[in-house]
Structure 1
């Protein structure tokens, strides 16, 4: 059970009975009780260097079918100690199988749960258990949990079998255990959480600031206010900052040890892999550039060739003493040792990003610029243009002459092009304008942008105008400039600069909003509510759990090193210290009912509703060659069919959904606490029907799997070469007649490169996307399960197998589309096949590599 909680009534009763009555009570009373023997296997993962737990671990089994005839409560065996059976060594760990033999009376029934106590001094990872019942039936327990020493937790750890029950169907023998286990996970909202705790409660994002390190590290608390709303995170309960009682204190060096409930921690092998990837990326990308800055006093790259040399095989990754001193002051001692140790090994080679692997210059092509909006790593922002000029909160396109745009429309008027849905917009204007004066300081030069695109007859988009805007001297007035595409000359070079500014806008929105906010941040409250309100025996808990793997731990690490004050995103994104404030502002627009793919496409005008279509979604795509949408719809339909099959098996009527007390408490807590700043919104699905439940669960699983995969795993392919996706710009586009314009005329390419981030920021950004783009070697992909015995229900297993087979068929169809020469957006000038939504369910799926493909079941990086 959980730390800091009173013993459950079951624990108190069990202890009391054992103290008052000896084990052989029946024989003392002269009665003969027929006994039976339960046999069990317990599979433990252990680090080679740690002593094995052995007989210091005891197990007590609870009946899942019978109650104690004397008390009317749950029936349990006597505790028994585990004994070694076999072991198998791996590279860094060993798998040890232990056995138990426990005598119980012949009326014990079928095991339904067990309580395990670790009196060993070290924690261990319990992967799996099975118990052979009296009728030779094997009862499976998927555990996948850390078992901490009882001297720390004070209580044993309870596990239920893989049998699934709605609350009303729970066997009488397990009802109280079910309630008590849930209660133990909720905590009381006080105290600092310890590593061994399993407490799930909520907190605001009050741990991003570091005011004790100076006023420059002050940040607003996100969540709990109208001004700065935000999803909740898991509570850690660390001490408050000395200078700001509203903020949690932070460790003084980069330290990856931050509390998440023990069951949510990444495995030691995954953490080791993540650290190793990070260290090698730092050594390869950052260390050589740091030395260049020191030796040459050059803060910037000076040519495209210099940037391309970042991927040379001859990178000198040796760490000089002065760099070691800087590192030692920045990171924890253990991490510092790992970095210096790795620097002495054989250098690791990194692949050339796909965007330049076939053609070093294809990224500059207008077709490629437009293709990436549909099939790059951020294909979710483009909208169909319905009104020209588009209305704005702070201004309109008064500076654009209608004739300039219409000249690009192949004979159509603007209205005709909009009527036939051939005009599209990439809009990064309204949300940025209020922040630009704060952003454009300390060498940052950013515009708000709008990009118009026209759908050609060949199915590709053509960028036809870019508007860049800055705040004017008077409130509500803006300074606008419009750039039009040219193939040659000075205007063509200016057009390239304008596209770079648009790419920077899009990159920041991608990282802060589409990726972090709309997947990582919004999912965490669902995880917390699931663990607090849905028993592990609940079918919906079992359905969702694979889609939550590692997410809370990854989010916690992000709060330590990515999104915190002075973190990597503040260093690499133009939004700097207002990054999370922008994220909070755009959370105001977030609606759960718009996060599913069909709803998102309809909202953006990229599809139309047509109930008569022979299509489960009832929508028709406006662009036939929109790879993200085309592949995504197939994945969405497959997920929804599986969810409908699963839910229909357990809920036969709408009334069953409505009367499920755990499910209703879960949904209420998500709305009123986890996303508490959205409480009372009418767009939350009422969970009163099976169809609404299916829609809500499909949306959640889509976000955690396919949406996140489409936004994450292609990052190195596109961001790995920063001129293609710069994350900040250091120069405005020069005005004719200025000294800067003279510099630009002298060497437009040099001006472009000097507009990009400096060496350190650029190298740091590349190192980050390298790490983020890698799949873990223990990745669990959509359509797969971490264990073949994830449920004992054969019918459910069969339906899941059908889902997995459908994903394999989708893989084949994606490959066929990628080979179709008519679908030009699937490869484009850079010849990069669109595989971001390729499920990769094969057993030979690439792991531990930058693949740009594969849909993990969860937000696992």
Structure 2
């Protein structure tokens, strides 16, 4: 007889324990053990939360190199069944070898579950008959659990689900996250109801009334926004380091639709507009994607959504100052171009309409389309097509955590027929559907890769652009890790090309995510390792850093409603000199629309206590030394970047924290 020492690690998660009996079978290249009940002196305490318990499995002779294990958890006394979350199983063989079996899955039934040894294997090198059978069975089950669905024609497909509880256990929120999210939402709504605000369709009577609501929940930056939202310098700053740094671009030639001439603008330093464009000091934000959208009706009132053009000037002291705003795309007598030299409220109202347009562009394109919806496509394709033993699964699965459930809730609570955006935002209902289609239609692969995107927009040398500075460094750190890991498994392009599971992953992303539109530059298949490395870098960056950049600051910059109104219920001025503070208050959204927006931003900006930051991988999917070292090095580089960002922020009037790796979540989880 020979003995195998089996150590079972139960995850340190709420409700991870089980009191059911557990049995195991070891399967090797030369044979297999019998199913053995895992019994120790701990008895019922063996599989409690965080427990590490050891057992002995005996065999008549060595069963060779271990390939997989089978685990089952029959019901206790045939009546009671509880869920169990084993983290991993470690087996020491009589030959002195150690085998790791990563699990990190809920086991909720009494069925037999197979888990592969942790050494990554691509499909063409998986030769053991039981290993291949296990691989095929896993993917067959995943195809049933993770099915594509069409939420709306013309946008990326999503996971088919009837509700949060119908999602597979492995992708659902933890007990901790569920509890905290429910608490945050319920207490926020209760506070609004107690104040009688959530149902009020009245206009705001004065700015101080808005402040009374805002003062209940503040951050350091939201207070700064409250104090500086009217200032031109802060208005310009937000195009670089606010929640939407994705629209601004260097302007060398004005669009024909924006007839601003030298004699119209007054630039610091007595420079002409033409000369400053040649020097690269003029920038444009064009909201043409919003042109012609059908605005919403909120509280029975028509809303107004503009498609502005904004011209900005980089001054000699490196401030980005707005110098001209046109609120509609087509020049006309009733579509004046506004300038800082206009009356206080003419200019302020023009900026308010720009901020309202930016809210829509940010929420539906920059945030929803370009992070949430794409992250869901990446995740569903991975879970359908790539088994746990594959190196790509091991590399990417941490970046799928909670994405499928948060997206289901987002569709149900924000953009459904009864969703908050549908009910209260200027671009609700049909406008949302149209804009999402336009967003996907205009999306390109290069715009998802920050080095390419920054270069295409001509923003390489714009000063005080912290999104760019931190984002490019993060991209490089992620790229080095991805290149190291994937190059370890794929020694040449030929190996990559014959990996059918990997090719199916990208093929499904192209078909279901980008709707088979070849002109976007998205690869339909991988032919080189370099192509794969860049694409996987983009996936990780999108699911972690890019989402953090456009999500984490929502309450900071949108909590003070005048800086980011969810809707505007009065048309913009068509003639200069007709606006006032009263006009502004009449234009702002009603009380209920304001507070619903503020409470939503608060919820979407709150981390749960089980937040996992980029570079932290509590689930150990890799077993080989080199990938493990590369991931350790990755974590170390992120720590160095975090320290540098913190040091820089100490000297900034408005710190930029959203791409500090300690603040970047591994996945689209909120």
Q: Same fold (TM over 0.5)?
A: yes
The answer on whether the counterparts of 2:295 and 2:426 sit within 8 Å (CA) in structure 1 is no
- 1:180-195 superposed matches below 5 A: 180-187=137-144
Counterpart pick for 1:404 among 260, 264, 278: 264
Which residue number corresponds to residue 88 of structure 2?
Answer: 128
- 1:249-328 superposed matches below 5 A: 257-290=164-197, 293=200, 299-312=202-215
Which residue number corresponds to residue 604 of structure 1?
Answer: 457
Which residue number corresponds to residue 573 of structure 1?
Answer: 425
- 1:119-158 superposed matches below 5 A: 119-120=74-75, 121-150=81-110, 155-158=111-114
Q: Distance in 1 between matches of 2:327 and 2:13?
A: 57
Which residue number corresponds to residue 531 of structure 1?
Answer: 383
The answer on whether the counterparts of 1:685 and 1:696 sit within 8 Å (CA) in structure 2 is no
Secondary structure class of the residue paired with 1:723:
helix
Change (3 A) 1:679 1:795: same
In the alignment, is residue 767 of structure 1 matched against residue 599 of structure 2?
yes
Post-superposition shift, 1:634? Answer: 0.8
Secondary structure class of the residue paired with 1:777:
coil
Change (3 A) 1:683 1:662: closer
The answer on whether the counterparts of 2:90 and 2:101 sit within 8 Å (CA) in structure 1 is yes
Which residue number corresponds to residue 432 of structure 1?
Answer: 290
Post-superposition shift, 1:106? Answer: 2.1
Secondary structure class of the residue paired with 1:377:
coil
Structure 1: segments with no counterpart, 5+ residues: 1-33, 68-74, 188-198, 206-221, 224-228, 239-255, 313-349, 607-620, 821-826, 841-853
In the alignment, is residue 417 of structure 1 matched against residue 287 of structure 2?
no
Which residue number corresponds to residue 78 of structure 2?
Answer: none
Which residue number corresponds to residue 654 of structure 2?
Answer: 832
The answer on whether the counterparts of 1:439 and 1:446 sit within 8 Å (CA) in structure 2 is no
In the alignment, is residue 630 of structure 1 matched against residue 457 of structure 2?
no
Post-superposition shift, 1:839? Answer: 0.9
Counterpart pick for 2:335 among 444, 467, 480: 480
Which residue number corresponds to residue 36 of structure 1?
Answer: 3
Post-superposition shift, 1:855? Answer: 0.7
Q: Distance in 1 between matches of 2:369 and 2:516?
A: 14
Change (3 A) 1:60 1:367: same
Which residue number corresponds to residue 666 of structure 1?
Answer: 505
Change (3 A) 1:478 1:781: farther
Change (3 A) 1:285 1:130: farther
The answer on whether the counterparts of 2:399 and 2:667 sit within 8 Å (CA) in structure 1 is yes
The answer on whether the counterparts of 2:382 and 2:505 sit within 8 Å (CA) in structure 1 is yes
Which residue number corresponds to residue 365 of structure 1?
Answer: 231
The answer on whether the counterparts of 2:481 and 2:630 sit within 8 Å (CA) in structure 1 is yes
Post-superposition shift, 1:536? Answer: 1.0
Counterpart pick for 1:108 among 63, 71, 74: 63
In the alignment, is residue 856 of structure 1 matched against residue 635 of structure 2?
no
Deviations 1:93-145 (A, max 9, x none): 94445554322232212433222223222333233332332234432233221
The answer on whether the counterparts of 2:293 and 2:434 sit within 8 Å (CA) in structure 1 is no
The answer on whether the counterparts of 2:3 and 2:93 sit within 8 Å (CA) in structure 1 is no
Deviations 1:60-90 (A, max 9, x none): 2222xx14xxxxxxx432222333665999x
Q: Distance in 2 between matches of 1:128 and 1:287?
A: 48
Q: Distance in 2 between matches of 1:386 and 1:470?
A: 19
Which residue number corresponds to residue 177 of structure 1?
Answer: 134
Q: Give the TM-score, by structure 2 length.
A: 0.92
In the alignment, is residue 594 of structure 1 matched against residue 554 of structure 2?
no
Counterpart pick for 2:72 among 117, 125, 135: 117
Deviations 1:26-76 (A, max 9, x none): xxxxxxxx443442324156766x994322x3322222xx14xxxxxxx43
In the alignment, is residue 522 of structure 1 matched against residue 468 of structure 2?
no
Secondary structure class of the residue paired with 1:641:
helix
The answer on whether the counterparts of 1:88 and 1:94 sit within 8 Å (CA) in structure 2 is no
Secondary structure class of the residue paired with 2:166:
coil
Q: Distance in 2 between matches of 1:819 and 1:139?
A: 47
Q: Which moved more, 1:706-715 or 1:412-421?
A: 412-421
Change (3 A) 1:51 1:135: closer
Secondary structure class of the residue paired with 2:511:
helix
Q: Distance in 2 between matches of 1:601 and 1:737?
A: 36
Q: Distance in 1 between matches of 2:645 and 2:202?
A: 44
The answer on whether the counterparts of 1:88 and 1:95 sit within 8 Å (CA) in structure 2 is no
Select the structure of larger CA radius of gyration.
1
Q: Distance in 1 between matches of 2:495 and 2:576?
A: 73
Change (3 A) 1:813 1:673: same
Post-superposition shift, 1:494? Answer: 1.5
In the alignment, is residue 383 of structure 1 matched against residue 249 of structure 2?
yes
Q: Distance in 1 between matches of 2:237 and 2:43?
A: 53
The answer on whether the counterparts of 1:43 and 1:96 sit within 8 Å (CA) in structure 2 is yes
Post-superposition shift, 1:817? Answer: 3.0
- 1:693-732 superposed matches below 5 A: 693-732=532-571
Post-superposition shift, 1:515? Answer: 0.5
In the alignment, is residue 165 of structure 1 matched against residue 118 of structure 2?
no
Counterpart pick for 2:24 among 56, 59, 68: 59
In the alignment, is residue 552 of structure 1 matched against residue 404 of structure 2?
yes
Q: Distance in 2 between matches of 1:544 and 1:792?
A: 15
Change (3 A) 1:85 1:707: farther
Post-superposition shift, 1:543? Answer: 0.5
Deviations 1:187-230 (A, max 9, x none): 3xxxxxxxxxxx1221111xxxxxxxxxxxxxxxx23xxxxx11
Which residue number corresponds to residue 642 of structure 2?
Answer: 811
- 1:450-465 superposed matches below 5 A: 450-465=309-324
Deviations 1:676-721 (A, max 9, x none): 3425765527511111111111111110110000111111111111
Deviations 1:357-403 (A, max 9, x none): 35842221110111111111211111111321x14xxxx235x4542
Structure 2: segments with no counterpart, 5+ residues: 76-80
Secondary structure class of the residue paired with 1:426:
strand
Which residue number corresponds to residue 19 of structure 1?
Answer: none
Change (3 A) 1:125 1:39: closer
Secondary structure class of the residue paired with 1:588:
helix
The answer on whether the counterparts of 1:386 and 1:418 sit within 8 Å (CA) in structure 2 is yes
Change (3 A) 1:413 1:737: closer
Secondary structure class of the residue paired with 2:56:
strand
Deviations 1:734-754 (A, max 9, x none): 45599xx4xx54xx1x43233
Q: Give the TM-score, by structure 1 length.
A: 0.72
In the alignment, is residue 201 of structure 1 matched against residue 147 of structure 2?
yes
Change (3 A) 1:45 1:819: closer
Q: Distance in 1 between matches of 2:461 and 2:329?
A: 33
Change (3 A) 1:482 1:87: farther
Post-superposition shift, 1:780? Answer: 1.4
Secondary structure class of the residue paired with 2:335:
strand
Which residue number corresponds to residue 586 of structure 2?
Answer: 754
Post-superposition shift, 1:504? Answer: 0.7
Q: Distance in 1 between matches of 2:272 and 2:100?
A: 67
Secondary structure class of the residue paired with 1:61:
strand
CA RMSD of aligned residues (A): 2.8
The answer on whether the counterparts of 1:384 and 1:423 sit within 8 Å (CA) in structure 2 is yes
